[in-house]
Amino acid sequence: MLKLKFAIIGLLIISSQNLLAQSKTIQGVVTDPSGFPLPGASINVEGSTNSASTDFDGKYSLQGVNPTDKIIYSFVGLISQTITVGTRSLIDVTLVQSTQTLNEVVVAYGTQKRAKVTGAISTVSSKDIAAVPIMNAESALQGRAAGVTVVNGAPGSNPTVSIRGLSTMGNSAPLYVIDGVLTSNLSGLSPNDIESISVLKDASTTALYGSKAFNGVIVVTTKKGKKGPGQLNFSTYVGGQTVTKRYDVMNTQQYLQYAKDLGSDLTARAAEFGNINTNWQDQIFQTGLMQDYNLSFSNGTETSTSRYSAEYMKQEGAIVNTGFERYSFRSNNTQDIGKLKIGSNIGVSFSTTNPERASGGRTLLEHAIKSAPYLPIYNENNLGGYQGPSAIDGNDAENPVRVANLGYQKINGLSIIGNIFAELEIYKGLKFRSQVSLDYFTSKDHTFIPSYQDGSYHKQAFSTTNEINGQGQTIVIDNSLTYKTTIASKHNIEVLGVITKIDGKSQTLTAGSRYSISDEVDQLRYNEGSLGSTNFVEKNIGYIARINYDYNEKYLLALSGRRDASSRFGANNRWGNFYSVALGWNIAKESFMENSIFSTLKLRASTGTTGNDRIDNYQYSATLIADYNYPIGGANAPGVSLGVASNPDLKWESKQDRNIGLDFGLFDDKFTGSFEYFNNKSSDILFAVPLPASVGSAGGGTQIQNIADVKVSGFEVSLGYNDRKGDFTWSATANLGTSKNEVTSLAPGVTSVLGGPVPRAGLENFSRLEVGQPLFYFYGYQTNGIYQNQAEVDAVFGPGQTAIKPGDIKIVDRDGNKIINSGDKTNIGNPYPDFTYGLNLTAAYKNFDFNCFISGVQGNDIYNANTFDLEGMNRLFNASTAVLDRAIVVNGVVTNPSATLPRAQGADINWSSANQRYIQDGSYTRLKNIALGYTFSGDAFKAYFSKIRFYVSGQNLITVTKYDGLDPEIARADANANSAGIDLGRYPQPKSVIFGLDVTF
């Protein structure tokens, strides 16, 4: 027995020695989803006190671990992982984002689980934004969100953004919300500061923003500090951009012969300048330098977070003496004090814009394509040093180099957008939040032009100084109460109540003066000066309520309502009521869907209303136009005339949104997608109707009326695929959005409305509003070739009944009355696309990464006013080489019947009215971005950097289009919808190549 006891004791000692011998040290690195090391991550052996944490480089060492132990890796905001040790001594772990973080989307006044969303929302992440180097944040949406159309313009200008087509006749821009601050654009925001962008597209998601949300809402969330040790990031890129396409215009030899044909012999004039050949287009385009530098620092503790950033960006334009420069700074902070959370989000930017300069109502491009090629650019004998045309040239196009470079124009801007907030948890689930937001701006637009004389046509014997100073602010005060609770573990209820008050004011001071003594004095003076000012005050108050209910996240209901009052309407109709109702069914959560291929399957539907008050202030009241002269006693006497006629019954535009959507995910969301159908109706649309002279208006007078109803419908499709396994990973996302609008009714007595900017002098407005047609379609004549002889002319009009002759354009006599007049005009084009689309491809292999992004539009028309200039031939200007093959008439017969262009200086109908000649297909597909990057690795880099990546990227390198202008992406002439699709020589989008560097310390 004694021997047996000793044997057992010996066996236990040996066993314990073996167990101790099996314990070991585990080492490794813990990283976040992007591969960045995670300092301060916790490593614990399950069921014991044995633990460790990662150092600054994410490295850890855990001693005394047995093969059977389970190690828990955790970090705030990321999903914890539990790993059994086994035989390994080296364990590297990548922690992924928590389900809550991944599945949350930003909605009005808060966030919501994606599974509970019942409205139409598209989201663009910071990763998507960072993939394309952009100068303005709005451009990040181009081609990345279904149903969103983005058109870029000149450096420093705000892109034109529309959501789900056109639903109104005035300002169609969406509302922008930056961290809860309402604003009109994202011009002062650095794209590097954006965490995500959510596009709210239907009433279920936008109704809570009331009058501001009529055209949709773009909600921007900026990057915040994260818990853990501080992280310093630096990124930069530099590159160049240029416009390579040119209009094919005549050289000096061709131009001189063309001028002879039109009755002007300019041979001697050309010889006077040495028979040179100036390519004016080459003189106004340049290769512009682009550069950007961004520095940010973020850190956080268990009770506070902070992030600070600064950016310097400079963009030289592709057109001479244009560009944009911006300094931007941002500070985001939060602090928890028990049940109280306070914070602030502040962004400040300083900008300088050198806009494209114009003169005489013409853009630089119009001057360039019209200018005589035999004229030199410079002439030191002329005042100012430039050469331009004189009466002998018969061509009054200005020297575009002088217009661009003589003197200067600078627009200096300051923007402050931010808020401070406090949130108190009164009781479990019950929170009160108070927030004050500020959107403040100043602008100084200063132009100085010294004296000059290029020739007898263009001269100025004095210097001019003009300045426009503006400033404004909008203060929004929001007080909200939110209650969340769960009943019986399955009934989830959230109730929100908000009172919001908006106070806005703005003022503008305009001044100008001349100075005849010196070109060195760039100051405003009282002598020969002008002075004017405007100001306004705007107020809005809203009462908001929302109820969200779901049963076990399976059956969803969302109700919201808002009552708004706007100072832009008179007392008769100042208040507006808006609501939304939405339902959802998470089919994938049903028991019969268990073990199916669907990881997500949700059906949702919504309906509701939003309102619009985007008109100028005080339009319900009458205004007067000053400086109008009346003939009294045989002499002119100063007086006033009616400007805006009063309309005390002016009321809200309203829009009824209807949306049906289906979201799906297959194989654990490896394949994802969504389908949307929307059918919206806008009622009582506001529009400035021209007043007849009989009511006492001097011309240009208007009355704002609720004039029309419009319906808009379309489909949206978004598809995605993600392959995240192995050394080679790739993903693809694609989206497509359609939109069709139609005017369904007009106010009594109104049959149609013409609008839009006048494309060229002598050419009528032609953007038209009419029942049964799209908003602001192009209204003009159809054409059918060239009249070949007098017999063809007489067959249409009768002998001697018209000024039209052989060689002139055949206008289709649609009503058959042998008279060409407005009754023969019809729909000749639609500036708004049938659909937009985008395709984004990303791939990575080990340290290499690749991105390819394609975007495009289909089905829109462009009125190419440049073709009007180049092929109109109404007077002597340089023109397209195509006019060399114009119709030639000898003895009343066209000698070249294959000619497609009319005779030079023919009948007015050839050029004075809008017709099909100038309408072109504006569809295009563009390689918006292609980029290749490499992330450096190895101990030499890890000793100093958490991440260092170098990349090269190209933008707009390939564009496939039938449009023969310089660029099919046509920016509007102004903010109004009736100027869309008219190419007046607008700023073309350049091609660019850049080199970039991203570093994390």
- DSSP line for 615-675: S-TTTTS--EEEEEEEEETTEEEEEEEEEE---TT---EEEEEEEEEEEEEETTTTEEEEE
**Rounded average pLDDT over 308-326:** 94
Structure tokens at 927: 């390689």
Between 92-96, 178-182, 773-777, the lowest mean confidence (pLDDT) is in 92-96
pLDDT, one tens digit per residue, over 820-869 is 888 889 999 999 899 999 999 998 888 888 999 999 999 999 999 888 88
**Rounded average pLDDT over 925-932:** 93
* The dihedral formed by the CA atoms of 36, 332, 421 and 107, expressed in degrees to the nearest 10: -50
Question: 445 pLDDT exceeds 50?
Answer: yes
SS3 394: coil
SS3 692: coil
Between 135-139, 223-227, 230-234, the lowest mean confidence (pLDDT) is in 135-139
Between 53-62, 387-396, 668-677, the lowest mean confidence (pLDDT) is in 53-62
If pLDDT is split at 50, 70 and 90, which confidence band does 583 have? very high
Quote the pLDDT of residue 940: 66
Distance CA 229, CA 302 (A): 11
pLDDT, one tens digit per residue, over 877-888 is 999 999 999 999
Distance CA 613, CA 573 (A): 11
More confident site: 111 or 598: 598
In sequence order, what E strands does 9-66 have?
24-31, 42-45, 51-53, 59-65
Radius of gyration of the chain from its Cα atoms, rounded to whole angstroms: 33
pLDDT, one tens digit per residue, over 774-827 is 988 999 899 999 999 999 998 888 888 788 999 999 999 888 888 888 888 999
929 membership: H or E segment, kind and range: strand 924-935
If pLDDT is split at 50, 70 and 90, which confidence band does 239 have? very high
Question: 905 pLDDT exceeds 70?
Answer: yes
Q: Using alpha carbons only, give the angle 397, 402, 408 rounded to the nearest 5 degrees.
A: 130
In this prediction, what percent of the chain has a pLDDT beyond 70?
A: 92
Q: Using alpha carbons only, give the angle 901, 755, 737 rounded to the nearest 5 degrees.
A: 85
Q: What are phi and psi of 708, to 5 degrees?
A: -150, 160
Q: Using alpha carbons only, give the angle 506, 508, 511 rounded to the nearest 5 degrees.
A: 170
Quote the pLDDT of residue 411: 96
Task: Tally Cβ neighbours within 10 Å of residue 121.
Answer: 24
pLDDT, one tens digit per residue, over 479-534 is 999 999 999 989 999 999 999 999 999 999 999 999 998 888 899 888 788 898 88
SS3 content of the chain, % helix, strand, coil (to 5): 15, 50, 35
Q: How does 743-779 read in b/e, with b if 16+ C-beta sit within 10 Å?
A: beebeeebeebebbbebbeebeebbbbbeebbbbbbb
Strand partners, 916: none
Task: Tally Cβ neighbours within 10 Å of residue 450.
Answer: 19
Global pTM? 0.84
**Rounded average pLDDT over 357-383:** 93
pLDDT, one tens digit per residue, over 533-542 is 889 999 999 9
Please list the alpha-helical segments (H only) found in 903-990.
939-942
Quote the pLDDT of residue 318: 94
Quote the pLDDT of residue 119: 77
Distance CA 981, CA 919 (A): 10
List the one residue out of 84, 76, 20 whose CA is nearest residue 46: 84
Q: Give the chain's mean pLDDT.
A: 86
Quote the pLDDT of residue 152: 84
Distance CA 258, CA 868 (A): 17
Between 540-549, 742-751, 807-816, the lowest mean confidence (pLDDT) is in 742-751
The rounded Cα 428 to chain-centroid distance in angstroms is 41
Distance CA 931, CA 819 (A): 58
Question: 667 pLDDT exceeds 80?
Answer: yes
pLDDT, one tens digit per residue, over 416-440 is 999 999 999 999 889 999 999 999 9
Report DSSP letters for 313-361, one per residue: EEEE-SBTT-EEEEEEEEEEEEEEETTEEEEEEEEEEEEEEEPPP-BTT
**Rounded average pLDDT over 239-249:** 94
SS3 445: strand
Written in H, E and C, the secondary structure of 459-488 is: EECCEEEEEEEEEEEEEEEEEEEEEEEEEC
Question: 375 pLDDT exceeds 60?
Answer: yes
Taking every pair of C-alpha atoms in the chain, what is the biggest distance, in angstroms? Answer: 144
List the one residue out of 258, 308, 74 whose CA is nearest residue 879: 258
- The set of residues, in sequence order, having a beta carbon less than 8 Å from that of 221 and lying 6+ positions away, is 106, 179, 194, 195, 196, 197, 198
Question: 57 pLDDT exceeds 90?
Answer: no
List the one residue out of 542, 540, 541 whose CA is nearest residue 568: 540
If pLDDT is split at 50, 70 and 90, which confidence band does 10 have? very low
Quote the pLDDT of residue 5: 47
